[in-house]
């Protein structure tokens, strides 16, 4: 039995992430926590995020989690979801500018103002731009559920693992070593989302 | 290939059962919410919306348990509306497994509420639900109390006000009180007026009686998602059939 820590710093609904993981890994120990020790000891880390980036970074700082997150991202299977992708980058335009964890190089920017509705909300196709164990048994261009107004612009194109299009092509999945992070919500993306979570649970990077 | 238009079956829930009425009266039983939600998930629903029409506290607890039971088994976005008045109500529903909450009359009585909730929980999970009724040509007002009481507030202006700025609602659930349950199609002029005014996604609701109505809401009304209840509850059509019909009309859907 392995342990999977879902980092819960009180910023939103992470119960659905837990429920989905429990569904795909009924024998594993899956828990919500903001405790540095538990995060350090867990076998795998899931880093969701909701709300605004500024508030999330403040909460991570308040809970003393910044170093623990950086350490976890450096050494064990790590899945970022939604804001959990954005927070891995250097800087976001959100909340008049917020610094992230700088695990990936690049910035988080607002979708350009066009006739398209913002937030980008709903089921969009995801083009898999690299072969990755987390895409195992998921068809290229499968649809995943997203809701966000900002997207990531990486400096190093080798981290791009998936692209979606909403007026522009944008990175909706990024991967490097033991880290995989997605803009969409696998926990809300029905069969393909559950498959991705199952792939994560079984992933041996 | 890009973002799909969404089909959202809606479950009106009272005392733990799915019900459906015509213009909020003549209520009929339409089944167990967990079973109904699972069926819609299997059929490929893009989201599910629950509107609680229970007034009592006991009914409220029933609703929370129901959301928990559904969220254990259904892994698509769930929206809960009805009786959401304060931050604590939102937190309770999110903790039960809801992804979004729809706020209706409470926003009318406290126009700052949407801002407060969006700031606390993120605008992505706050939906402003608007019940609008036609009062003149191209003019609609917000009604409360199941469509019986006018507030005198212009529906289009209200939609704009509630979605503006960084802490506006992230989505509009727009229901025509004139069309709800009548099955003659959406109020397309109303839908168009609101979708043209706001910059967030709009869910058209009220009036779907056949599959063609769904496509009209998207193509003529400009809606980003369409919500329907009775055409799915009583087995007239499946969600899958609805999506196929939309695709035949050139609308991008998740199949």
pLDDT digits (tens, 9 = 90+) for B237-246: 999 999 999 9
Instruction: Test B200 with A117 for CB contact under 8 angstroms.
Output: yes
Beta strands in chain B, from DSSP E residues, in sequence order: 6-14, 17-22, 25-31, 48-52, 78-81, 100-103, 126-136, 139-144, 149-154, 171-176, 202-205, 225-228
Q: Is A193 on the interface with B (CB under 8 A)?
A: yes
Q: Active site residue: A94, A148, A185, A198, which one?
A: A185
Q: How far apart are CA B160 and CA B177, in angstroms?
A: 19
Of A56, A82, A94, A198, which residue is the catalytic one? A82
* pLDDT interval class at B74 (50, 70, 90): very high
Classify each residue of A130-144 as buried b or exposed e, where b means 16 or more C-beta atoms within 10 Å of its C-beta: eebebbeebeeebbb
Q: Which of B219, B212, B221 is nearest to B175 (CA)?
A: B221
User: Which of A137-143's residues contact partners 24+ apart within 8 Å by CB, and which partners?
Assistant: A137/A195, A137/A199, A138/A192, A138/A195, A138/A196, A138/A199, A139/A192, A141/B1, A142/A192, A143/A189, A143/A192, A143/B4, A143/B254
Position A50 scores a pLDDT of: 67
ipTM: 0.93
- Of the candidate ranges B24-33, B162-171, B186-195, the one whose mean pLDDT is the lowest: B24-33
Phi, psi of B137 (to 5 degrees): -60, 130
Question: 3-class SS at B233?
Answer: helix
Q: Is A54 on the interface with B (CB under 8 A)?
A: no
Query: Among B4, B84, B6, B25, which Cα is nearest to B50's?
Result: B84
Chain B contact for A190 (CB, 8 A cutoff): yes
Please check whether residue B120 is in contact with residue B112, taking contact to mean a CB–CB distance below 8 angstroms.
Answer: no
How does B196-207 read in b/e, with b if 16+ C-beta sit within 10 Å?
A: ebbebbbbbbbb
Instruction: Please report residues of B whose CB lies closer than 8 A to that of A124.
Output: 2-4
Mean pLDDT over B163-184 rounds to 92
Q: What token pair was written down for B249? A: 């009309």
Q: Which residue of A has its CA nearest to B196?
A: A115
B56 pLDDT above the threshold of 70: no
* Both structure tokens of B137: 């040509």
B209 Cβ under 8 Å from any chain A Cβ? no
Average pLDDT of adjacent 10-residue blocks, chain A of 205 residues: 91 84 97 95 92 85 93 97 96 89 97 93 98 98 96 98 97 98 97 98 97
Query: How much is the pTM?
Result: 0.95
Task: State residue B61's pLDDT score.
Answer: 80
Cα atoms found within 13 Å of the Cα of residue A180, Cβ hemisphere only: 23
Per-residue confidence band for B230, with pLDDT thresholds at 50, 70 and 90: confident
Distance from the B94 Cα atom to the nearest Cα atom in chain A, whole angstroms: 6
User: Which of B4, B77, B222 to mutate against chain A (most A CBs within 10 Å)?
Assistant: B77
Catalytic residue among B41, B52, B89, B131: B131
Whether residue B209 has pLDDT greater than 80: yes
Q: Please state, for a pLDDT cut of 70, what percent of chain B lies above it.
A: 95
* B96 Cβ under 8 Å from any chain A Cβ: yes
Query: B253 CA to chain A: closest CA distance, Å?
Result: 9
Given CB atoms, is B6 within the 8 Å cutoff of chain A? yes
Q: Which distant-in-sequence residues (6+ apart) come within 8 Å of A35 by Cβ?
A: none
Between residues B49 and B20, which one has the greater pLDDT? B49
Mean pLDDT of B175-198: 95
d(CA A34, CA A9) in angstroms, rounded, equals 6
Tell me if chain A has a CB within 8 Å of the CB of B97: yes
Give the mean pLDDT of B117-127. Answer: 90
Q: Is B131 a catalytic residue?
A: yes
Q: What is the mean pLDDT of residues B66-91?
A: 93
Contact assignment for B2 to A124 by CB distance below 8 Å: yes
Neighbours of A168 (CB within 10 A): 12
Residues of chain B found within 8 Å of residue A187, distances taken between Cβ atoms: 75
Total beta-carbon pairs less than 8 A apart between chain A and chain B? 97
Q: Is the alpha carbon torsion for B240, B243, B249, B250 positive or negative?
A: negative
| B32 annotated active-site | no
């Amino acid at each position: 039995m392995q342990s999977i820590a879902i980092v819960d710093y009180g910023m939103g609904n992470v119960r659905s992430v837990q429920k989905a993981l429990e569904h795909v890994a009924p024998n594993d120990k899956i828990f919500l926590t903001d405790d540095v020790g538990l995060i350090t000891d867990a076998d795998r880390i899931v880093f969701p995020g909701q709300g605004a980036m500024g508030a999330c970074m403040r909460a991570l700082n308040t809970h003393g989690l910044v170093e623990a997150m950086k350490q976890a991202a450096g050494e064990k299977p790590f899945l970022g979801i939604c804001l959990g992708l954005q927070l891995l980058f250097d800087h976001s335009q959100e909340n008049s500018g917020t610094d992230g964890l700088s695990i990936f190089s690049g910035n988080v920017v607002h979708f350009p103002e066009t006739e398209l509705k913002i937030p980008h909300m709903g089921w969009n196709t995801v083009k898999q731009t690299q072969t990755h164990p987390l895409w195992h048994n998921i068809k290229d261009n499968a649809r995943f559920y997203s809701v966000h107004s900002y997207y990531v612009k990486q400096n190093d194109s080798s981290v791009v693992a998936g692209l979606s299009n909403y007026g522009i092509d944008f990175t909706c999945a990024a991967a490097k070593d033991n880290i995989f992070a997605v803009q969409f919500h696998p926990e809300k993306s029905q069969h393909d989302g559950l498959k991705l979570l199952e792939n994560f649970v079984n992933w041996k990077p | 290939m890009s973002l799909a238009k969404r089909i959202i079956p809606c479950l009106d829930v009272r005392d733990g059962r799915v019900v459906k009425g015509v213009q909020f009266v003549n209520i009929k039983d339409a089944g167990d919410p967990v079973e109904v939600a699972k069926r819609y998930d299997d059929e490929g629903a893009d989201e599910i919306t629950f509107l609680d029409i229970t007034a009592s506290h006991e009914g409220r607890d029933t609703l929370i348990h129901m959301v928990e039971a559904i969220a254990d088994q259904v892994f698509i976005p769930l929206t809960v509306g009805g009786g959401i008045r304060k931050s604590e109500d939102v937190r309770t529903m999110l903790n039960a497994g809801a992804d979004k909450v729809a706020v209706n009359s409470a926003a009318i009585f406290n126009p700052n509420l949407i801002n407060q909730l969006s700031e606390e929980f993120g605008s992505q999970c706050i939906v402003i639900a608007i019940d609008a009724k036609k009062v003149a040509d191209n003019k609609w007002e917000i009604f409360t109390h199941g469509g019986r009481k006018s507030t005198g507030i212009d529906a289009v202006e209200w939609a704009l006000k509630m979605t503006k700025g960084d802490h506006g609602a992230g989505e509009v659930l727009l229901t025509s009180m004139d069309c709800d349950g009548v099955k003659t199609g959406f109020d397309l002029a109303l839908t168009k007026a609101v979708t043209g005014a706001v910059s967030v996604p709009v869910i058209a609701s009220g009036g779907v009686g056949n599959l063609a109505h769904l496509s009209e809401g998207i193509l003529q009304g400009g809606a980003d998602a369409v919500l329907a209840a009775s055409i799915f509850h009583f087995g007239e059509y499946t969600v899958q059939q609805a999506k196929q019909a939309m695709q035949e009309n050139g609308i991008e859907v998740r199949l």
